[in-house]
Amino acid sequence: MNQQAHRKIAAIVFPMLLANISQPLLGLVDTYVVGHMPQVSAMAGVALGAMLITQLYWLAGTLRMSATGYSAQTLGSHQPDRARQLLWQLIALALIVAALIGALQRPLCEAVLWYAQPDQTTASVMQDYVAVRVLGAPAALLNLVLIGWLIGRQRSRFVMLVQVIGNGVNAGLNLVFVYGLNLGIEGVALATVCAEYLMCVMALLALRAQIGRCLPVWFSWQAIKQVLQINSAMLIRNLALQACLAWVTMQGAQLGDVTVAVNSVLLQFLALTALGLDAVAYAAEALVGQAAGQQDRRRIQSWVRKTLLWSLLLACVYSLIFYLAGEWIIRALTDLPAVRAMAVSYLPYAIMLPLVAHWCFLLDGVYIGLGQAAIMRNSMLLSALAGFFYRYICCRVPVITAYGWPC
């Protein structure tokens, strides 16, 4: 039984690991292309623009999480009609959010530039990059829903195919647009947009049967209420998480272009770690969610224990890779001496990160499978306030500083 269970986990983890690793590898290509442009301002501007787009899409990552949870639970409870109905609610919500991102593009850029206060060249690069990237918002957000739904159905091999092909096309177009057609920063952004629409078409074809047969009964106030409830809790959770990450980039921008560039390099280590550990978290989402749909408590506990073992082993592998090849990765990403030197000085933190963080990724997967978004929201808020913003709050609230609390 244990061997069969671990084979089932492996059938999800390995395809998703390959699919997820292809995403930060694409980030490495982007950073390599921009990092070898003559001015640091090009790298800094793309870093700010990519930060804004990434924050928006990661906030909308609630769509992917809820899609996986609903898909797995309805698979376990054998409710095909409800599954189709929930899928349509999520598709409609994704398109609405994409329209909002497009409409708010300009004020969002202005808010980032107002806070970061970069030089004029960096600001211009950022605006050009974002103007192209938002054209892919409908496809990018639909991909969150469709990929999440496929993960919940344990169709990880197809998800791997979609993401690997999409990211491969993105990397190839990057080189063609920038070096072949000389499109510069806009070429980097346009390559990503083209890949997003290709992935969306592939995922829609995979789910065309479920989507097509649901048209007459797509609307249900009960289903919409449930979707909005779980997504609102996850949105608050993601806002707290992204506030921490955005704070790092914003503070770096105030310290100069070199610091922003270093952050963009180090974030590639974070992305690689997160997406790698998420491969096991996806398995937990699908398997725990299916067991939750079957209302089998013992099976839920069994899947949690087994996926925890996989998560720990993968974290050890990542830390070893970063220890052995971390400096080589930094040197490959950029040939700017100041950026290299500062990035290497922070490498030990990247090495320790997987061992500390793998618990968080796994438990996120467990609670997504269970549909317990409120627990995820509350734990993230506590972590952000007590662990990240504590010193900032204490140093600026007169009532606290009056009692001599340490800043």
Q: What is the pLDDT of residue 216?
A: 45
* DSSP per residue, 204-265: HHHTHHHHHTTGGG---HHHHHHHHHHHHHHHHHHHHHHHHHHHHHHHHHHH-HHHHHHHHH
Distance, in Å, from the CA atom of 129 to the CA atom of 193, rounded to the nearest integer, reads: 11
Give the closest residue to 9 by CA, choosing from 210, 196, 293, 286. Answer: 286
Cα dihedral 357, 362, 365, 370, rounded to 10, equals -130
Q: What's the rounded Cα separation, in Å, for the pair 110 and 73?
A: 42
Residue with tokens 């990247």: 350
Q: What is the pLDDT along the chain (407 residues), one digit of tens a residue?
A: 577 888 888 888 888 877 776 665 565 666 677 666 666 666 777 777 877 887 788 778 888 888 888 888 888 878 777 778 788 888 888 899 899 988 888 888 888 888 777 777 777 778 888 888 888 889 999 998 998 888 888 888 888 888 888 888 888 888 888 787 877 777 888 888 898 899 999 988 888 766 655 444 556 666 667 677 777 888 888 788 877 776 766 767 777 777 777 877 887 787 778 777 888 888 898 899 888 888 888 888 889 989 999 999 989 998 999 899 888 888 887 777 888 888 888 888 888 888 888 888 899 889 988 888 888 888 888 888 877 666 666 665 554 444 455 55
Distance CA 39, CA 189 (A): 18
Which residues are within 8 A (CB) of 197 and not within 5 positions of it... i.e. 6 or more apart?
Answer: 136, 139
Tokens coding 343: 């990035």
Spell out the residues 6+ positions from residue 13 whose beta carbon is closer than 8 angstroms to its own. Answer: 279, 280, 282, 283, 310, 314
Asked if 81 and 47 touch (Cβ cutoff 8 Å), the reply is no
Q: In sequence order, what DSSP letters do the residues of 21-62 get, joined into one string? A: HHHHHHHHHHHHHHHTSS-HHHHHHHHHHHHHHHHHHHHTTH
**Model pLDDT, residue 3:** 79
Listing DSSP states for 370-392 in one string gives HT-HHHHHHHHHHHIIIIISHHH
pLDDT at 125: 77
Q: Answer yes or no: are the C-beta atoms of 341 and 273 closer than 8 Å.
A: no
Return phi, psi of residue 404, to 5°: 80, 20
CA distances in angstroms from 361 to 66, 311, 312, 364, listed in the order given: 16, 8, 11, 5
Q: What is the pLDDT of residue 89?
A: 83
What distance in Å separates the CA atoms of residue 70 and residue 87, rounded to the nearest whole number?
8
The pTM is what? 0.77
Measured distance CA(147)–CA(63) in Å, rounded: 10
Question: What would the pLDDT profile of 90-149 be if each residue is shown by its tens digit?
Answer: 888 889 989 998 888 888 888 888 877 777 777 777 888 888 888 888 999 999 899 888
Domain ranges within the chain, ordered by starting residue:
2-402
User: Which tens digit of pLDDT belongs to each residue from 309-352?
Assistant: 999 998 999 899 989 988 888 888 777 788 888 888 888 888 88
